[in-house]
Structure 1
Amino acid sequence: MVLLASSPQSSPRRLVSMHFALRTIAIACLLFAFQLFPIGMEASADTPRPNVLIVMADDCTYNDLPMYGGENAKTPHLEELANQGLTFDRAFLAEAICQPCRAELYSGLYPMRNGCNWNHSASRGDIESMPQHLSRHGYRVGLAGKVHVSPRSAFPFEVVDGCDKNCVRNPTRPMQLDSIREFMDRDDAQPFCLVVALVEPHVPWVMGDASAYPPGKLKLPPNIGDTPETRSAFGRYLAEITYMDGQFGQIMSELDAVGKTDETMVLFTSEQGSQFPGNKWTNYNTGVHTGLIVKWPGVVAAGTRTDALVQYADVLPTLMDIAGAEPRPEAFDGSSFAGVLRGESDAHREYAYGTHNNVPEGPPYPIRSITDGRYHYIRNLQNENLYIEKHLMGIKGKGELNNKYWQTWVYQSFEQPEVLRLIQRYQLRPEQELYDLASDPYEMNNLIEDSSLTGVRQELSEELDRWMKSQGDPGSEQDTVETHRAAKNGEHRFGI
């Protein structure tokens, strides 16, 4: 741009004309800037704001995936994503149950603060979530597939068709990509945030090609009892993982077809653990540890991994940071890990927190936990109770949604002592548990009595107490029929 300067010989009329021209140019520039960045939208000095595509699996144990050491599942599309992005080795969610973990992800608030502390309940009606927060910064925010959060006032996603919303349908409806494509391609001038919440590998395990996983050739994890029925069920579960991987590949192909691959951040997460004992509905590592892979072309280094400790509550603050929003620590329990994505930091949070309330999935069995990324401390608040999870251990009607391998564990418990130990581990838990996740990711060796770890135990226990108090968590009183019923009615009894 050439700047015009006046000289001593310039006439007054010429000077006025020049000033008028310069003022006109300045106003035009301002108007152009406001067109690009309307009020409430900020531009990044370094990189443009990306579109955001979040793809969720449903009940997929993180270390059944190959990029986390899984030795069975075939997931070529997710492995390609890992090769193109950043894999988080220490990502957690607060509660290993479908509705609470999604409410945490979408709100940036822990279960106590957003109000959803049980399955089949409700968050507080006055909270805000991803749609409200991101729309203020110019994003279109939609959700395709399984919703499983409420009330609508707190989670007003634009509903996008194309994916089955019913996680227990048999069979799952085929994915239709027209609406997903339309949402991604609708407006080149406005960024989008789209959550695609798939329903595999949630039970019933009926999708995919189970013949690709012959039961006799499978390598079972050490926290799963080895019986023929268990092997058969595990093979069907693995087939659903591969089916889910194929769906992910289709979604990525659509993103490429609309020409937005290079300007879109893709975030995949495996959600909580699978419906095998010790995974979903527990605070064990294979329950609350989630797979998390992020691809951000031009920003995230391809084929990298990080030990940075992150939690579902951190995702929305991260997206807000990337959108250019001013930090609002009071609005979220989590905080942005955008610095980790950009390669500016190798660390994020100091602790990740966990909670479990068993009602209405079974009788009360409240649990709280905390990890620093290596050590995992678990407190069973009513360990005098027998742990029961009705979906996994019981049968309703003809049992279409129940896998009967548990009954084979019980039958074999006399002849197979290792299976008996797994039953006892699942149902008879000590008051406190402590595990070294680096050497024991399946948490088979409780170190709570190890005197060399007294300092670790005390530090984690005290921090867990502090966190519970900060959240207004009364502990056992949360895990009652009365408290659950009150939450469903929008009359939450506890919390801040």
Structure 2
Amino acid sequence: MKKPNMIFYLADDQDVYDYGCYGNEKVNTSAVDRLAKEGMLFTSAFTAQAICAPSRSQLFTGNYPLKNGCFANHTATRPDIKSVTTQMKNLGYEVVLAGKSHVKPESVYQWDREWEPVPKKDVPREYIPLDSIEGYFKTTKKPFCMFITSKYPHGKYFDVENPNANDIKFYPFNEHKKKDKAFVKSKAGYYRSIEEDNTQLEGVLKLVDNYLNDNTLFVYSADHGVSGKFTVKDIGLKVPFVVRWPKVIKSGTTSNQLIHYTDVLPTFMNIAGGNPIEDMDGNSFLPLLKGQDVQVNQYVYGVRTNQNILNSEVFPSRMIRNQRYKYIRNFNSLEVVEQNLTGKPNVDYFIKRGAKAHKKEPLEELYDLQNDPFEQHNLTQNPELQSVKEKLKQDLFSWMKSQGDFLDGNIGNMPIITPKGKKGFKLDQDTPRRKIPDSIKSTLKKGDYIVIEHW
């Protein structure tokens, strides 16, 4: 069989709950809904980090953020990693990026072709380069692996006049905001931006139908949820994931198996006739696409690194999840912050500040996702679930060690991280959203933090 073309369409900052095919009848996602009818919809697909660059780096490397190096926003993949560009080229593919990049360094991501997003009038974000994509589809001779990376529906959103809360679908995590006019207006603009991305996707699918044959694998996803951005809750880490592959995937099917962004590259390599790389975290889910209902992952994991975002605070979290239960550990929660202090006043200021900024988040969280999919009821004190909690905790700590995590799981170990050189948001400096008292500015010195070399 001739090697199939592979296209991965990635939207930006869209909740899994905001699609018709995932149960939201109030939003226009007709193009994604069409793909679901013609292919397979995954109900348990995840990224490990609800933030842009770390999420994308997993897709492109097959490794979780801590192992691939990109675990804080705007940071770089480790320079020794062979990414999708190397792996798929070695299997005879051209590898193309069309749209938003947000990954680095160039030495790791050597695209055969790369087209930037293009300006468009009367819309809040740039568009995917449809003309370049069409030209490529028309003329390409080699099998290709193309990532089409949209800037929608990521804010800035459309300005919708006179928005109506009845046009928005609310969930347990946001229903208290039904009468919040600013929230409703933002949500209406977000829905309109989703509709704009649907228009882009329709354009891409038309080109696929016109120029490519049935031997084309098409994946749709969104990099993470906007409502849970920067968290390890499912609303941030659970992603839409729909795959169409005529003559291979049975139309209108659903898979409930746990899959992960780290699984995408191993799957693509598998489809291209390659063997999995031993050091890769991900696993191929090709058997699922062929109709075999087999376990791909026992667990998926999540990482939260609050440093190097506009609201930079010291509050790292880790998550482990199986099909039913989820355990979260917030390593600098207020209940353990005194044990995390170092004795250095300038360092301890930032450790205390981080804990206070997230004062409602406890050290441990445990959720029964079968009965509580929106994670509203923390069950860590439930006596009947202590063995479940302890097993998940120990397996999480083992995974962290295997990833080379800068956290070791122990209370009383709260390293802070900083970028090498001048890039990034340093803790002892102001950001546009966070002010530092003058008395504590520029007080962090070498030895107070871990320097991330590949920042």
TM norm structure 1? 0.76
Distance 2:359 2:157 in 1: 24
String of CA shifts for 1:154-174, please: whole Å, max 9, x gaps: 1112343363499xx972234
Cross-structure match for 1:252: 205
Please tell me whether residue 359 in structure 1 is matched to residue 307 in structure 2. yes
| Structure 2 counterpart SS, 1:57 | strand
Q: Does 1:373 align with 2:309?
A: no
Rounded to whole Å, the distance in 2 between the matches of 1:125 and 1:327 is 20
C-alpha deviation, 1:318, in angstroms: 0.3
Aligned counterpart for 2:251 among listed residues 277, 302, 323: 302
**Residue type of the alignment partner of 1:91:** A
Match of residue 271, structure 1, among 223, 248, 251: 223
- Structure 2 counterpart of 1:441, which letter? P
Q: Which structure has the greater CA radius of gyration?
A: 1
Return the alpha-carbon distance in structure 2 between the equivalents of residues 243 and 385 of structure 1: 45
Q: Report the CA distance between 1:347 and its aligned residue.
A: 2.2
Q: Does 1:142 align with 2:74?
A: no
Q: Structure 1 residue 280 and structure 2 residue 232: aligned?
A: no
Measure how far apart 1:448 and its partner are. Answer: 1.4
Report if aligned partners of 1:164, 1:199 keep a CA contact under 8 Å in 2. Answer: no
**Residue 231 (structure 1) aligns with:** 184
SS in 2 for 1:474: coil
| 2:429 aligned residue | none
Q: Once the 2 structures are TM-superposed, how far is the Cα of residue 239 of structure 1 from its aligned partner?
A: 1.1
Q: Judge conservation of contact 1:357–1:366 (CA < 8 Å) in 2.
A: yes
How many correspondences in the alignment? 401
Q: Residue 450 of structure 1 aligns with which residue? A: 382
Contact residue 128 and residue 148 of structure 2 kept, 8 A:
no
Select which of 129, 140, 143 maps to 1:191.
Answer: 143
Asked if the contact 1:184/1:192 (under 8 Å) is kept, the reply is no
Output the CA distance in 1 between the equivalents of 2:378 and 2:294.
29
Q: Which residue of 2 aligns with 1:461?
A: 393
TM-superposed CA distance for 1:98, in Å, is 0.2
Are residues 1:218 and 2:168 paired?
A: yes
**Residue of 20, 25, 50 corresponding to 1:96:** 50
* SS of aligned partner of 2:386: helix
Instruction: Please give the secondary structure, in 1, of the residue aligned with 2:229.
Output: coil
- Rounded to whole Å, the distance in 1 between the matches of 2:358 and 2:18 is 20
| CA distance, structure 2, for counterparts of residue 70 and residue 425 of structure 1 | 33
Letter in 2 for 1:76: S
Q: Are residues 1:472 and 2:427 paired?
A: no
Deviating more after overlay: 450-459 vs 149-158? 450-459
Q: CA deviation at 1:187?
A: 2.6
The partner residue of 1:73 within 27, 30, 34 is: 27
CA distance 1:478–1:160, change in 2 (3 Å): farther
Over 3 Å counting, the alpha-carbon distance change for 1:294 and 1:427 in structure 2 is farther
Query: In structure 2, what is the equivalent of residue 336 of structure 1?
Result: 284
Cα distance, 1:493 vs structure 2: 5.9
Q: Which runs of 5+ in 2 are unaligned?
A: 338-355, 425-450
Structure 1 residue 429 displacement after superposition? 0.3
> Structure 1 residue 458: deviation in Å?
1.4
Quick one: distance in 1 between partners of 2:92 and 2:305?
37
Q: 2:369 aligns with which of 433, 437, 461?
A: 437
Report the identity percentage.
32
How is 1:80-159 mapped onto 2 (pairs within 5 angstroms)? 80-159=34-113
* Contact 2:98-2:129 within 8 A present in 1 as well: no
Cα displacement (A) at 1:67: 1.7
Is 1:163 equivalent to 2:117 in the alignment? Answer: yes
| 1:115–1:283 CA distance, 2 compared to 1 (3 A) | same
Letter in 2 for 1:157: W
Letter in 2 for 1:339: P
Q: Is the 8 A contact 1:212 1:239 kept in 2?
A: no
Distance 2:235 2:357 in 1: 14
Task: State whether residues 380 and 432 of structure 1, in contact with CA within 8 Å, keep that contact through their aligned partners in structure 2.
Answer: yes
TM-score, normalising length from structure 2? 0.82
Partner deviation per Cα, 1:394-418 (whole Å, 9 max, x = no partner): xxxxxxxxxxxxxxxxxxxxxxxxx
Match 1:346 to one of 286, 289, 294: 294
From the superposition, tell whether residues 262 and 487 of structure 1 become closer, same or farther in structure 2 (CA, over 3 Å): farther
Supply the AA of the counterpart residue of 1:344.
Answer: Q
Task: Give the Å deviation of 1:176.
Answer: 4.1
